[in-house]
Amino acid sequence: MMYFLGIDLGGTVVKASLFDEQGREIGSAGRRTPLIAEEPGQAERDTGGIRTLAFESIRETLSGAGVSADQVAAVAPTGHGKGLYTLKKDGSPGLGIVSTDTRSWKIGAEQMSAPDFDRFVYARTLQPYWPAHTAPILAWLKRGHPEQYREIAHVLLAKDLVRYFLTGTIMTERTDISGTGFWNNRESRIDQEILDRLDISDILPAIPPVGYSHDNAGAVTDEAAAATGLRPGTPVLAGLFDVNACALATGLERPDEMTAVVGTWGISAFVASDVSRAIEAPEHFVIQEHCVPGQFLVHEASPTSASNLEWFVETFLQDLPENERFDYCNTVVTGTPDTRVTYFPYLFGDDMGAHASGTFLGMRAGTDRKEVIRAIYEGIVFQHLRHVNKLLPVMQPPERVRFAGGATRSAVWMQLFADTLGLPVTVSPATELGALGASICAAVGIGAFPDYSSAMEAMTSVRDVYEPDPEKGEPLRRKQQQFAELVRQMAPVWKAYE
Of all residues in the chain, the percent with pLDDT exceeding 70 is 100
Dihedral-angle region of residue 400 (phi above 0 means left; psi in -120 to 50 means alpha; beta otherwise):
beta
288-292 mean pLDDT: 96
Distance CA 53, CA 50 (A): 5
Examine the pLDDT at 402 and tell me if it is beyond 80. yes
**Contact predicate 267/82, CB 8 Å:** no
- Report the pLDDT value the prediction gives residue 132, as an integer from 0 to 100: 87
Query: pLDDT tens digits, residue range 35-58?
Result: 999 998 999 999 999 999 999 999
Of all residues in the chain, the percent with pLDDT exceeding 90 is 90
How much is the mean pLDDT over the chain? 95
Query: pLDDT tens digits, residue range 100-143?
Result: 899 999 999 999 999 999 999 999 999 999 888 999 999 999 99
Distance CA 25, CA 469 (A): 31
**Contact predicate 63/470, CB 8 Å:** no
Tell whether domain 307-427+468-497 is in CATH 3.30.420.40: yes
Residue 373, CB-side half-sphere exposure with 13 Å CA sphere: 24
Handedness of CA 418, 352, 282, 244 (dihedral sign): negative
Q: Report phi then psi at 7, rounded to 5.
A: -120, 125
The residues pairing with 211 across neighbouring beta strands, listed in sequence order, are 173
| Residue 418: C-alpha distances to residues 105, 390, 439 (Å) | 34, 18, 28
| Residue 390: C-alpha distances to residues 219, 284, 488 (Å) | 42, 10, 14
The residue extents of the domains of the chain are 3-250, 307-427+468-497
282-301 mean pLDDT: 93
- Report the pLDDT value the prediction gives residue 303, as an integer from 0 to 100: 87
- Report the pLDDT value the prediction gives residue 174, as an integer from 0 to 100: 97
Query: pLDDT tens digits, residue range 363-388?
Result: 999 999 999 999 999 999 999 999 99
Distance CA 119, CA 421 (A): 34
Strands 464-466, 425-427: pairing kind: antiparallel
- Report the pLDDT value the prediction gives residue 498, as an integer from 0 to 100: 67
CATH class for the domain made up of 3-250: alpha beta
- Report the pLDDT value the prediction gives residue 430, as an integer from 0 to 100: 85
Examine the pLDDT at 354 and tell me if it is beyond 90. no
- Report the pLDDT value the prediction gives residue 240, as an integer from 0 to 100: 98
- Report the pLDDT value the prediction gives residue 301, as an integer from 0 to 100: 87
- Report the pLDDT value the prediction gives residue 437, as an integer from 0 to 100: 97
Query: pLDDT tens digits, residue range 319-342?
Result: 999 999 999 999 999 999 999 999
Examine the pLDDT at 311 and tell me if it is beyond 90. yes
**Contact predicate 263/408, CB 8 Å:** no
Cβ-based burial of 496 (10 A; exposed 0-12, middle 13-18, buried ≥19): exposed
Query: pLDDT tens digits, residue range 6-18?
Result: 999 998 899 999 9
201-216 mean pLDDT: 98
Distance CA 313, CA 299 (A): 28
Distance CA 129, CA 105 (A): 9
- How crowded is residue 447: how many other Cβ atoms within 10 Å of its Cβ? 10
**Fold agreement between 3-250 and 307-427+468-497:** yes
Query: pLDDT tens digits, residue range 77-106?
Result: 999 999 999 999 999 999 999 998 999 999
Examine the pLDDT at 205 and tell me if it is beyond 90. yes
